[in-house]
Structure 1
Amino acid sequence: MIELGYSLSKRFPDPPQTDYRTADVRTLRHDLFSGDVYVADEEAELSTTWGWVPVLDFAWALCDIVEELDQDPAGSRSARVQSAELDFTETADRLRFARRFGWVEIRADWVEDERLTVRHEDLRREARDFLHDLIEDLNDMHEGLAANPALWLLATRFPRV
Structure 2
Amino acid sequence: MLDIGYALSHRFPDPPQTDYRRADVHALRHDLFSGDVYLADTEKDQELSTAWGWVPVLDFAWALCDIVELIDRDPRGSRASRPQYAELDFTESADRMLFERRFGWVDIEGEWMPGDEPPLSFSHNELRREARDFLHDLLADLTDMHDDLGDNPAIWDLQARFPRVPAN
The normalised TM-score by structure 2 is 0.95
> Percent of aligned pairs with the same residue?
71
Mapped to 2, the partners of 1:138 and 1:49 lie a distance apart of 20
Partner of 2:158: 154
Two-structure CA RMSD over aligned residues (Å): 0.6
Partner of 2:7: 7
Helix, strand or coil at the partner of 2:107: strand
Partner of 1:61: 63
1:127 matched to 2:131: yes
Q: Which runs of 4+ in 1 moved over 4 A?
A: none
Helix, strand or coil at the partner of 1:144: helix
**Superposition deviation, residue 143 in structure 1:** 2.7
Structure 2 runs not aligned, ≥5 long: none
Structure 1 runs not aligned, ≥5 long: none
Helix, strand or coil at the partner of 1:23: coil
- Count of residue pairs the alignment pairs up: 161
**Superposition deviation, residue 27 in structure 1:** 0.2
The normalised TM-score by structure 1 is 0.99
**Superposition deviation, residue 158 in structure 1:** 0.1
**Superposition deviation, residue 149 in structure 1:** 0.5
Mapped to 2, the partners of 1:18 and 1:157 lie a distance apart of 25
